[in-house]
Amino acid sequence: MHTKSLTELAHGLRSGEFSSVELTQHFLKRIKQHQDLNAYITVTEETALQNAIVADARIANGQSTALTGIPIAQKDIFCTLDIKTSCGSKILDNFIAPYNATVVEKFNLAGAVLLGKLNMDEFAMGSSNETSYYGAVKNPWNINTVPGGSSGGSGAAVAARLAACATGTDTGGSIRQPAAHCGITGLKPTYGRVSRYGMIAYASSLDQGGPMARSAEDVAILLQTMAGFDPKDSTSVDLSVPDYSAGLNNPLAGLKIGLPKEFFSNDLNSDMAATLETAINEYRKLGAEVKEVSMPNLRLAIPAYYVIAPAECSANLSRFDGVRFGYRCENPVDLTDLYTRSRGEGFGKEVKRRILMGTYALSTGYYDAYYVKAQKIRRLISDDFKMALTEVDVIMGPVTPTPAFGIGEKIADPIEMYLSDIYTIAINLAGLPALSIPAGFINGLPVGLQIIGNYFSEDRLLNIAHQYQQVTDWHQHTPKGFE
Ligand code: GLN
Q: Is the CB of 102 under 6 A from ligand 1?
A: no
The residue-averaged pLDDT of 336-357 equals 97
pLDDT tens digits, 9-67: 999 999 999 999 999 999 999 999 999 999 999 999 999 999 999 999 999 999 999 99
State residue 266's pLDDT score.
83
The residue-averaged pLDDT of 202-231 equals 98
Question: For the chain, how many structural domains are there in total?
Answer: 1
Please name the residue whose Cα sits nearest to atom 5 of ligand 1. Answer: 172
Q: How confident is the model at residue 308 (pLDDT cuts 50, 70, 90)?
A: very high
Q: Is the CB of 20 under 6 A from ligand 1?
A: no
174 is catalytic: yes
Q: Is the CB of 130 under 6 A from ligand 1?
A: no
CATH of residue 64: 3.90.1300.10
Q: Is the CB of 177 under 6 A from ligand 1?
A: no
Q: Which of 123, 127, 131, 399 to mutate to test the pocket of ligand 1 (most atoms within 8 A of CB)?
A: 127
Give the separation between CA 203 and CA 312, rounded to whole angstroms.
Answer: 5
The whole-chain average pLDDT of the chain stands at 97
The residue-averaged pLDDT of 96-103 equals 97
- Share of residues in the chain with pLDDT > 90 (%): 98
Give the separation between CA 65 and CA 55, rounded to whole angstroms.
Answer: 10
Q: 255 C-alpha vs ligand 1 centroid, how far in Å?
A: 31
314 is catalytic: no
pLDDT tens digits, 316-327: 999 999 998 899
Q: Which of 77, 119, 174, 429 to mutate to test the pocket of ligand 1 (most atoms within 8 A of CB)?
A: 174
Q: Which of 77, 121, 125 to mutate to test the pocket of ligand 1 (most atoms within 8 A of CB)?
A: 125
Q: Is the CB of 180 under 6 A from ligand 1?
A: no
State residue 393's pLDDT score.
98
pLDDT tens digits, 258-293: 999 999 988 899 999 999 999 999 999 999 999 999
Please pick, among 150, 215, 314, 436, the residue that the annotation labels catalytic: 150
Q: 153 C-alpha vs ligand 1 centroid, how far in Å?
A: 14
Window from 235-244, 286-295, 411-420, 449-458 with minimum mean pLDDT: 411-420
pLDDT tens digits, 375-411: 999 999 999 999 999 999 999 999 999 999 999 999 9
Please pick, among 5, 19, 75, 138, the residue that the annotation labels catalytic: 75
The residue-averaged pLDDT of 424-453 equals 98
State residue 109's pLDDT score.
98
127 is catalytic: no
The residue-averaged pLDDT of 424-441 equals 98
Q: How confident is the model at residue 339 (pLDDT cuts 50, 70, 90)?
A: very high
State residue 267's pLDDT score.
85
State residue 127's pLDDT score.
97
Residue 382 neighbours by CB distance under 10 Å = 16
Q: 126 C-alpha vs ligand 1 centroid, how far in Å?
A: 5
Residue 28's domain comprises: 1-483
Which atom belonging to ligand 1 lies closest to the Cα atom of 420?
Answer: 1
Q: Is the CB of 167 under 6 A from ligand 1?
A: no
State residue 325's pLDDT score.
86
Closest CA to 120 of 151, 74, 145: 151
Q: Is the CB of 127 under 6 A from ligand 1?
A: yes
State residue 34's pLDDT score.
98
Q: Is the CB of 126 under 6 A from ligand 1?
A: yes
Q: 309 C-alpha vs ligand 1 centroid, how far in Å?
A: 9
Q: Is the CB of 170 under 6 A from ligand 1?
A: yes
The residue-averaged pLDDT of 138-151 equals 98
Which atom belonging to ligand 1 lies closest to the Cα atom of 126?
Answer: 4
Q: Is the CB of 114 under 6 A from ligand 1?
A: no
